[in-house]
Amino acid sequence: MDFPDFCFNRSRCFFQVRIYFNSLLQINLFFSAFFITYLISPKICHRFVGFLEEEAVITYTRCIEDLDAGYLPVWAKTPAPQIAKNYWKLPDDAMMKDVLLVVRADEATHRQYVKKINDFSDVILLFGI
């Protein structure tokens, strides 16, 4: 049996392939469960996504607090990546904290958006949109 070039170590290659397929399996299981749940009750799925967005806001807030408290000295001195400056239209001298602030604000709008969808999901379902 031939192995691709990156499989210079046979047991490591099997391990990587196993991790890859396990990940695919877990993604498929989650997608299927989420899809079936959405068919049964879209509100539950919207609520779940709302919790994820809320958790993201909390996580970014903690990250910013740690940055301000000096627990992340490398990030405190790291300039924002160019791709982040382009996407969020940050100034050239933007730092990682600026990226965290705009990403947190973005997640907060996601949270509000999902909450609105949840508030109106009965109306959406009523009109079959």
Question: In the complex with Fe ion, which residue's Cβ is closer, 56 or 95?
Answer: 56
Q: Is residue 104 involved in binding Fe ion (CB under 5 A)?
A: no
Q: Is residue 110 involved in binding Fe ion (CB under 5 A)?
A: yes
Cβ atoms of 72 and 57 within 8 Å: the answer is: no
User: Pseudo-torsion of CA 55, 57, 62, 67, nearest 10°?
Assistant: 140
Output the CA–CA distances (angstroms, integers) from residue 93 to 10, 11, 106, in the order listed: 47, 47, 20
Piece of the chain touching Fe ion by CB under 5 A; list 31-39, 78-86, 102-110, 116-124? 102-110
Count the residues of the shown chain that bind Fe ion, applying the rule CB under 5 A. Answer: 3
Q: Is residue 43 involved in binding Fe ion (CB under 5 A)?
A: no
Which residues of this chain interact with Fe ion, rule CB under 5 A? 53, 107, 110
